[in-house]
Amino acid sequence: MAWLDDFKIAIINQNINKIIELQQVMPLNLPKEQLETLKGLIDGAISLLEVEKGKTAKAMHALKKSKEYASSSQKSKTAFEYKF
């Protein structure tokens, strides 16, 4: 089945957008054998999404720290300027 092959390829390529797109149009009438395959693929997709979620959380944390640093640096310079 083309849909199942496309889903496999999206997981192998770690293409999150394609996985989500395909999930939204998942056929409902798959034979039992393909449903078993799909179950394993979905587990793989979930694992991939969890890894990506972790990477995104780390990146967001780093950006927040950078923003805090930039804000504190700006405040320090402003306070310093007013002393003169």
pLDDT tens digits, one per residue of 52-80: 999 999 999 999 999 988 888 776 655 55
Structure token pair of residue 12: 């192998």
Range of 52's domain? 2-83
User: Please, which residues have CB within 8 angstroms of residue 1's CB and are 6 or more apart in sequence?
Assistant: 27, 30, 34
pTM above 0.85, yes or no: no
Alpha-carbon distance values, 24 to 19, 20, 40 (Å): 9, 6, 18
The count of structural domains within the chain is 1
pLDDT at residue 17 above 80? yes
**Coil/strand/helix, residue 36:** helix
